[in-house]
Amino acid sequence: MAEGRRAGGSWTRALRRMIERELPTEHLLPDQEPAYVASWVYVFGVVAIAALVWVMVSGVVLAFFGPQWWHVSPQGHVVNSIHFWSVQLFFIFMVLHLWGQYFGATWRDGRATTWMVGVVVFLVSIGTAFTGYLAQQNFASQWIAVNAKDAINSTGAGAFFNVLNFGQMYGLHVMLLPIVITTLVAVHLVQVRMRGVVKPIETEPS
């Protein structure tokens, strides 16, 4: 057993070799791209990430100062608005990115997991936006929660996902779901770097 370990190497060595093989550092932040990437369609994804950065930064400020600040103070109104509108931009450009990838069939050539991680990011983002609307602490959030509880209860999920429980919705919105989104977006980007950008359909050999 001990010999086997020496011969095969430790799991840390195997992991290091796998990273060196799959993720050579010179390709993580490339300075050159294929010619077909020179299109505005490929900009949508990075604009969505830029919007996500604004969402995260403004969200951290909102979480630090709290609901009274974002409702009452002029500075709070500004940061609250930045958070709201950057979320709108995030969704707009995420959907435009989705359209671009869908019509380019970019799950081709071993990129199915990249596509699926993107789909999961989209779904988790919807849940995060929903809990964000519930965490506003205004009449709109009360209205949304009271209506949504019936929809959630009809699925049977109301017992462990209670939209009327502000603490649960706020905790999900500011801690758990942002961690999931950030992690998945990082995985998505690494997957794109590992496999490169898919060739356009017209360049595929027939």
Contact set with other proteins (CB under 8 A): 24, 27, 30, 32-35, 37-41, 43-44, 92, 95-96, 99-100, 195-197
- Minimum CB separation of residue 173 from other proteins in Å reads 23
The DSSP line for the chain is -HHHHHHH--HHHHHHHHHHHH--HHHHS-S---GGG-SGGGHHHHHHHHHHHHHHHHHHHHHHH-HHHHHHSHHHHHHHHHHHHHHHHHHHHHHHHHHHHHHTTTTTTT-HHHHHHHHHHHHHHHHHHHHHHHTS-SHHHHHHHHHHHHHHHHHTGGGT--TT-HHHHHHIIIIIHHHHHHHHHHHHHHHHHHH-PPPPGGGS--
Nearer to other proteins, 24 or 66 (CB): 24
- Minimum CB separation of residue 196 from other proteins in Å reads 4
- Minimum CB separation of residue 103 from other proteins in Å reads 9
Nearer to other proteins, 171 or 200 (CB): 200
Nearer to other proteins, 13 or 77 (CB): 77
Nearer to other proteins, 60 or 126 (CB): 126
Residue with the two structure tokens 């942002």: 178
Nearer to other proteins, 33 or 150 (CB): 33
- Minimum CB separation of residue 105 from other proteins in Å reads 15
- Minimum CB separation of residue 3 from other proteins in Å reads 36
Cα separation, 146 vs 108, in Å, equals: 43
